[in-house]
Chains A and B, each alone.
Chain A
């Protein structure tokens, strides 16, 4: 592991002066031919990569309105330059959203605009060279696609759209990222990101049933592939074994048990995550999403509910209907799909479950709004429900709840630093530095309110924080699942 300097937490977050090429050395491992083949991409850099890349860019420009609009509209006003957590943490100017976009924009201008064709020097247009290609790979993998920049852009330019397009072009010419592409391949082959086959999954769930019974003396079931259940629960596979994820899964199971709802997991769709989003590939994202439709049909369920996973909820909430719908075979009295937080919130409001916040009295809690939930989805009926509902659950489950500073939560939330396909050990320096703004905000509530734990509703956030918090002097177990706190506060046996 390369040595690097961990940023220092100061009194407040400051915008660093630019340091050209500060992160030019950071690029993830490349996918090998086998990883690429499973996704339908060439196994190595194709001979005519220049022409293929430009042709692919033209293809994408004709398929996604966001691309021509975003590439044409930027006026370089600089509003986004101090908004990206990776810029704030690394000071590399190519991590400023506009500069990251410009890596693609300068090539777009050169090949697709009049000004760039005839006066490239005037408008900053450039040929697609090997150096530009290397910059694409390096810096499109320093974007977690968190959309914070898009909140502040006067034209709503979303750098996530740009980095997704960039990654798709790279995949098309044979330059893929190992982490994301290997995982998508595993989902196709086995059903989940971890490569956990059905027997292992069944075994794990059985073990969880025993653990919960031992702890609570109540037999809470974790059903798998149960035909005829009402609810199909689709959850990130991290929930099946790792702390703090698994405590969240136990929380969902307790809530569903307590409410008397019939539910099941699926070994076909044993993964909520959809890394097809990260690599910008519509076809791969759709194929991953279709597993969920197939599982719902096979198991004859009436509802689909998603567990705590940020980008999965974006794909589920915003795209699932498009990718794999219509879902007219499901119970139309419930939104399709639902988030587990929506389900629990509804049960709480209807009095179907009871929460005793004193159970969490030894904890002082804050909440990390996950980027994809915050800026690319919704919960409940009202805009902003994605901020309100989880906080309602936390306030009902904990007597000591405190928000982090207003400019670091809600729509202004900072990414954990590990989203968008960057949650891999070969990018640990980037992940640590990208977590700086969130760590600064956490330090603020720790000092002002003696907060002991941060709750999150995203598997990537939880894994990322468990990894990077120790670099900033926190403990790795200070990150919790929202449904762990709910599960701990849940009064079992209520109403029976």
Chain B
């Protein structure tokens, strides 16, 4: 067992723990914080199922962003759709036998990296070229795009230019899952790709990537428009109530 394998194995456990625990804590915070008033952005669905459908449209189609800005929408949606394919394709490295969904995603997933890159470049250009968007950008906003682009580029190079020992890498990943560590291939490109992914996993719960869980908790999108029919109340507002006056 070489030192690089040990370092990467421990790093993967650490990054997974930070990502999992960090997200859990954030979701717990959102879940436990009450929404005392009905504030859906109207027109809003009047049934629970309607609200679920509205949320699905936001998650799958980015429907509000579509209304706002077609350029941001097309680059943003391409980035996320391609990311989904790439993510599913990568499940082949941690499942044995390989899950069906990873096999289905494989043929498209190989090329989806290029689409991700296109989306990232589009968003980066917008962030730099549109003065309004540049004004609201912090260093972290530019760096997030750079990090993702670096992950995509190193991945594409691994796939199409400097292939790594894929079987060896899969053995390493399965070894992590089974707590039976196997040596990691040590070519620099693969290790670069992995380090960048580990960084992404670790910063996820502390960054704007929280928009992923956040959307599901957004009261303007997930609430049902039924305030006249059903009285909405949470504990802290009820405890404030004055004695009944009639």
A interface residues with partner B (beta carbon < 8 Å): 15, 17-18, 61-70, 72-83, 93, 96, 98-99, 102, 113-115, 121-124, 147, 150-158, 161, 282-283, 286, 290, 293-294, 297, 317-319, 321-322, 325-326, 329, 335-337, 374-378, 381-384, 386-387, 411-412
Given contacts A69-B214, A152-B68, 18 further A-B contacts (CB under 8 A): A65-B35, A73-B208, A73-B210, A74-B208, A76-B141, A78-B127, A78-B136, A79-B69, A81-B130, A83-B68, A154-B58, A155-B221, A156-B58, A161-B39, A282-B36, A321-B227, A322-B232, A411-B43
> On chain B, which size bracket covers the interface?
35 or more
Report the stretch among B25-33, B164-172, B176-184, B191-199 that lies at the interface: B25-33
Which chain A positions have C-beta within 8 A of B64? 79, 151-154, 156
Which chain B positions have C-beta within 8 A of A154? 58, 62, 64-65, 68, 76, 211, 215
CB atoms of A66 and B58 under 8 A apart? no
Give chain B nearest CB distance to A390 CB in angstroms.
14
Report the separation of the CA atoms of residues A113 and B140 in the bound assembly, to the nearest whole angstrom: 14
CB atoms of A99 and B58 under 8 A apart? no
Which B197-246 residues sit within 8 Å CB-CB of chain A?
203, 206-208, 210-211, 214-215, 217-221, 225, 227-233, 236-237, 240, 242, 245-246
Q: What are 11 A-B pairs with beta-carbon distances under 8 A?
A: A63-B33, A76-B136, A76-B137, A93-B136, A96-B135, A124-B138, A124-B139, A286-B237, A293-B246, A318-B39, A321-B232
Which chain B positions have C-beta within 8 A of A73? 208, 210-211, 214-215, 218
CB atoms of B138 and A122 under 8 A apart? yes
**Interface assignment of B16: CB less than 8 Å from any CB of chain A:** no
Residue of B whose beta carbon sits closest to that of A296: B246
CB atoms of A124 and B140 under 8 A apart? yes
Which chain A positions have C-beta within 8 A of B240? 282-283, 286
Which chain B positions have C-beta within 8 A of A83? 68
Which chain A positions have C-beta within 8 A of B43? 378, 383-384, 386-387, 411
| B35, B62, B67, most chain A CB atoms within 10 A | B67
Report the separation of the CA atoms of residues A73 and B72 in the bound assembly, to the nearest whole angstrom: 17
**Interface assignment of B131: CB less than 8 Å from any CB of chain A:** yes
CB atoms of B227 and A322 under 8 A apart? yes
B interface residues with partner A (beta carbon < 8 Å): 26, 29-30, 33-39, 41-46, 58, 62, 64-65, 67-69, 72, 76, 123, 126-127, 130-133, 135-141, 143, 203, 206-208, 210-211, 214-215, 217-221, 225, 227-233, 236-237, 240, 242, 245-246
CB atoms of A322 and B132 under 8 A apart? no
CB atoms of B132 and A93 under 8 A apart? yes
Given contacts A93-B135, A123-B138, A151-B41, contact A72 B26 (CB under 8 A): yes
CB atoms of B35 and A155 under 8 A apart? no
Partner of A155, one of B26, B30, B37, B214: B214
Which chain B positions have C-beta within 8 A of A93? 132, 135-136
Residue of A whose beta carbon sits closest to that of B26: A72
Which chain A positions have C-beta within 8 A of B69? 77-79, 152
CB atoms of A317 and B228 under 8 A apart? yes
CB atoms of B221 and A156 under 8 A apart? yes
Which chain B positions have C-beta within 8 A of A81? 130, 132-133, 136
CB atoms of B33 and A96 under 8 A apart? no
Q: For the complex of A and B, list the 3 residue pairs with the smallest distance between their C-beta atoms, beginning with the closest.
A: A124-B138, A73-B214, A152-B68
Partner of B65, one of A61, A79, A381, A382: A79
Report the separation of the CA atoms of residues A76 and B72 in the bound assembly, to the nearest whole angstrom: 11
Given contacts A114-B206, A115-B207, contact A158 B39 (CB under 8 A): yes
Give chain B nearest CB distance to A88 CB in angstroms.
11
Give chain A nearest CB distance to B203 CB in angstroms.
8
Give chain B nearest CB distance to A21 CB in angstroms.
12
Residue of B whose beta carbon sits closest to that of A73: B214
CB atoms of B221 and A317 under 8 A apart? no
CB atoms of B228 and A335 under 8 A apart? yes
Which chain A positions have C-beta within 8 A of B203? 115
